[in-house]
C-alpha cells in the first residue's frame, strides 16, 4: 500500500537552526541569471559558505525562461536542501544564500532594479549554451536570433541574458554607479571572453558609446565550473523527505566533487572564494579546455551512444565495458595530447572522471546531456578534432561521438521510436535528416553544412568526412553498441 509521508515544511523558521549564519543579516551582492539545478549546487553552495564570514554576498536569482524554480522555492523562503550522494553514502545541508528569485517575464522591473542596485557587484550566469544567442562556431552574437531581434526592438524590456546585462549596465552608467563584474559560469570556451563579445556585440547594435563603455569598463573573468548535477526529479523530493524529514519542493542532488577555477579580475570586489575551495588564477584557459574536452566531450559521447544503445543513465552506460573502453581511449589517445602543458596529472584526472561517471547514486539521464548538441559539439568534440587534424593525427573516437549525434538528431531511435530531440536547431536538423532519405553520405554532408556547428573548415576536410560516413553507416546498420564493440577491436 502506498502511504504519503509528510514532513515538516522547509521554511525560514524550520531552517534557522540549520544555517551557520543569521539569514536576517545577509544582504545581496550577486544577481544570478539562470537559477537552475547547477547554480543551486555550485555557486550558491560556495556563497553559502562565504556568508558565514561576509554577509554582503547573498544572491538574487532570476529565472529567464520558466518560473518553476521560483514557484517551488518562494513558499519556502528560497531555501532548499542540497544532497550530496555517491555509492559510499549521502549527506545533506540547507542552503540559504539565495534570498529571492525573480521571474524575468513577470517581474522584469524588479529584476532590472536589482541589476542596477549599487549593492550588486557581480552578475553571474548559468543560462546554458543557447542562452548567449550566439553562433557556436564563431562565438559571435547572432544578430538574427529571434530573441535578439526582439530585445533590440524593446531595449528597456529585454528577455535575453545579453539584453538584460546591457540594459542594466546602461542604467548604472547613467546613474553614475560602477558596473558589476560579469561572471559567466556556463560551459563555453573562454567563457568570459565569449560573454564579453556577445554583450558588447549586442550593445553595439544599440549604441556605440555604450558598447565602448562596456568594452572599457566591465570585467568578464573566465571561469571553469564543474559539478555533475542532474535535473531534480520527484524521486529526489521523496528521498529528501525520507532521509531528512524535510518537505522540500525543489531540492538538488549532486556528487561530492566540486571545482571552480576563476580568473581573478573583479574591479568591484569579490567574495573571498579562495577560502571556500575555489581556485583563483590569472589564466583559466588550460583548465577550461581540459574540462570541456575531457569531461563534457566524454559526456556528450556517452549521451548519444548510450541513448541509442538503450541506456537511460550515464552510470548504466559507463558500466557497459565496451563504452567504458571507448571513453577511456577517447580521452587517453585523442583528447589528452591536445591539452596544454602544465595541467595537473591528466591520467589521474581521466580516472577520477570515469569514477564520477560511475556514481550509482546519480540518475543523470543521457537524454538530458544529449540536449542542445548543436551548441555543445564545437567546444566539446570539434576542438579536439580540429587540433588533431591540423597535425595529421587520427580522430576515430571523437568522430564517432559526432556521428552518434548525427544519428541521434534523425529523431528516430534504433527501435523505430521517436526521440524527443531538444535543440534550438532541431527543426533544421530534422529536415536535413528527412531529405537525406536514410543515406549516410547525404546525412553527413547535410549536417556538415550547418555552419554554426562545423564552421567552414571541417566540411572541407575529406578525411574527416569519410570517417563520419563510415561511422554513420555502421551506426545506422548495426546500432550503437555493436559499432562501439567493433571500434574497440578494430
Binding site for ligand CS2 (CB under 6 A): 187, 226-228, 295-296, 299, 368-369
- Nearer of residues 7 and 424 to ligand CS2, judged by Cβ: 424
Report the nearest approach of ligand CS2 to the CB of residue 131 (Å): 13
Residue 236 host element (H or E) = helix 234-244
Any idea which residue has 528521498 for its cell? 239
| CA 205/CA 162 separation, integer angstroms | 12
| CA 302/CA 313 separation, integer angstroms | 9
- Nearer of residues 103 and 372 to ligand CS2, judged by Cβ: 372
Please state, in angstroms and as integers, the Cα–Cα distance from residue 390 to each residue in 239, 294, 383, 385, 395, following that order: 50, 19, 11, 9, 11
List the one residue out of 463, 464, 482, 462 whose CA is nearest residue 474. 482
| CA 485/CA 52 separation, integer angstroms | 52
- Nearer of residues 202 and 287 to ligand CS2, judged by Cβ: 287
CA-angle at 100, arms to 130 and 60, nearest 5°: 55
Cβ(300)–Cβ(373) under 8 Å?
yes
Q: Is 29 helix (H, G, I), strand (E, B) or coil?
A: strand
- Nearer of residues 57 and 357 to ligand CS2, judged by Cβ: 357
Report the nearest approach of ligand CS2 to the CB of residue 151 (Å): 26
Question: Closest-CB residue for ligand CS2?
Answer: 299
How, if at all, do strands 89-95 and 80-86 pair? antiparallel
Report the nearest approach of ligand CS2 to the CB of residue 96 (Å): 23
Report the nearest approach of ligand CS2 to the CB of residue 126 (Å): 10
Cβ(215)–Cβ(320) under 8 Å?
no
203-212: long-range contacts at Cβ-Cβ below 8 A with a sequence spacing of 24 or more? 203/166, 203/169, 203/170, 205/141, 205/143, 205/148, 205/152, 206/152, 206/155, 206/166, 207/170, 210/166, 210/169, 210/170, 210/173
- Nearer of residues 373 and 446 to ligand CS2, judged by Cβ: 373
Report the nearest approach of ligand CS2 to the CB of residue 171 (Å): 32
Report the nearest approach of ligand CS2 to the CB of residue 138 (Å): 21
Any idea which residue has 569514477 for its cell? 355
Cβ(134)–Cβ(198) under 8 Å?
yes
- Nearer of residues 180 and 405 to ligand CS2, judged by Cβ: 405
Report the nearest approach of ligand CS2 to the CB of residue 24 (Å): 33
- Nearer of residues 170 and 288 to ligand CS2, judged by Cβ: 288
Report the nearest approach of ligand CS2 to the CB of residue 316 (Å): 16
List the one residue out of 68, 77, 65, 66 whose CA is nearest residue 18. 77
- Nearer of residues 296 and 488 to ligand CS2, judged by Cβ: 296
- Nearer of residues 187 and 232 to ligand CS2, judged by Cβ: 187
Cβ(195)–Cβ(129) under 8 Å?
no
Report the nearest approach of ligand CS2 to the CB of residue 201 (Å): 25
Report the nearest approach of ligand CS2 to the CB of residue 372 (Å): 8
- Nearer of residues 402 and 474 to ligand CS2, judged by Cβ: 402
| CA 481/CA 297 separation, integer angstroms | 18
How, if at all, do strands 122-125 and 80-86 pair? unpaired
Report the nearest approach of ligand CS2 to the CB of residue 200 (Å): 26
Residue 134, number of CB atoms within 10 A of its CB = 25
Which DSSP state fits 395? Answer: -
Cβ(399)–Cβ(385) under 8 Å?
yes
- Nearer of residues 369 and 398 to ligand CS2, judged by Cβ: 369
How, if at all, do strands 28-33 and 122-125 pair? parallel
Amino acid at each position: 500500500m502506498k502511504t504519503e509521508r509528510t514532513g515538516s515544511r522547509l521554511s525560514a523558521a524550520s531552517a534557522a537552526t540549520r544555517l551557520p549564519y543569521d539569514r536576517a543579516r545577509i544582504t545581496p551582492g550577486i544577481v544570478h541569471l539562470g537559477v537552475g539545478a547547477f547554480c543551486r549546487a555550485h555557486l550558491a553552495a560556495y556563497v553559502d559558505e562565504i556568508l558565514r564570514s561576509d554577509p554582503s554576498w547573498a544572491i538574487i536569482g532570476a529565472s529567464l525562461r520558466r518560473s518553476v524554480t521560483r514557484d517551488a522555492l518562494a513558499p519556502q523562503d528560497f531555501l532548499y536542501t542540497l544532497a550530496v550522494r555517491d555509492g559510499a553514502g549521502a549527506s545533506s545541508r540547507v542552503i540559504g544564500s539565495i534570498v529571492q528569485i525573480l521571474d524575468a517575464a513577470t517581474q522584469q522591473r524588479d529584476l532590472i532594479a536589482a541589476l542596477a542596485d549599487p549593492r550588486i557587484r557581480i552578475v553571474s550566469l548559468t543560462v546554458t549554451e543557447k542562452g548567449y544567442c550566439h553562433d557556436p562556431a564563431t562565438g559571435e552574437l547572432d544578430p538574427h536570433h529571434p530573441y535578439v531581434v526582439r530585445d533590440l526592438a524593446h531595449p528597456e524590456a529585454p528577455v535575453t541574458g545579453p539584453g538584460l546585462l546591457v540594459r542594466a549596465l546602461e542604467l548604472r552608467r547613467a546613474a553614475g554607479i560602477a558596473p558589476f563584474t560579469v561572471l559567466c559560469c556556463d560551459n563555453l570556451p573562454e567563457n568570459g571572453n565569449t560573454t564579453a563579445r556577445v554583450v558588447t556585440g549586442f550593445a553595439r547594435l544599440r549604441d556605440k558609446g555604450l558598447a565602448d563603455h562596456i568594452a572599457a569598463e566591465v570585467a568578464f573573468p573566465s571561469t571553469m565550473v564543474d559539478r555533475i548535477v542532474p535535473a531534480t526529479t520527484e524521486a529526489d523530493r521523496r528521498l529528501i523527505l525520507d532521509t531528512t524529514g524535510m518537505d522540500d519542493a525543489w531540492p538538488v542532488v549532486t556528487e561530492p566533487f566540486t571545482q571552480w577555477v576563476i580568473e581573478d579580475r573583479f574591479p568591484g570586489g569579490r567574495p573571498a572564494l579562495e577560502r571556500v575551495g575555489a581556485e583563483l588564477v590569472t589564466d583559466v584557459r588550460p583548465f577550461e579546455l581540459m574540462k570541456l574536452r575531457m569531461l563534457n566531450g566524454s559526456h556528450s559521447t556517452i549521451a548519444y551512444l548510450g541513448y541509442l544503445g538503450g541506456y537511460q543513465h550515464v552510470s548504466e552506460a559507463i558500466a557497459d565495458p565496451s563504452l567504458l573502453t571507448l571513453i577511456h581511449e577517447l580521452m587517453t589517445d585523442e583528447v589528452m595530447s591536445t591539452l596544454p602543458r602544465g595541467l595537473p596529472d591528466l591520467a589521474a584526472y581521466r580516472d577520477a572522471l570515469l569514477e564520477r561517471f560511475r556514481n550509482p547514486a546519480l540518475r543523470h539521464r543521457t537524454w538530458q546531456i544529449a540536449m542542445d548538441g548543436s551548441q555543445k559539439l564545437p567546444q566539446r568534440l570539434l576542438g579536439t578534432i580540429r587540433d588533431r587534424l591540423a597535425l595529421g593525427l587520427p580522430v576515430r573516437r571523437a568522430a564517432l561521438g559526432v556521428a552518434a549525434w548525427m544519428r541521434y538528431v534523425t529523431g528516430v531511435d534504433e527501435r523505430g521510436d521517436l526521440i524527443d530531440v531538444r535543440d534550438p536547431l532541431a527543426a533544421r536538423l530534422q529536415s536535413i535528416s528527412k531529405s537525406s532519405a536514410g543515406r549516410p553520405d547525404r546525412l553527413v554532408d547535410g549536417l556538415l553544412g550547418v555552419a554554426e556547428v562545423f564552421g567552414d573548415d571541417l566540411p572541407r576536410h575529406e578525411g574527416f568526412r569519410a570517417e563520419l560516413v563510415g561511422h554513420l553507416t555502421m551506426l545506422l546498420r548495426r546500432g550503437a553498441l555493436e559499432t562501439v564493440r567493433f571500434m574497440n577491436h578494430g
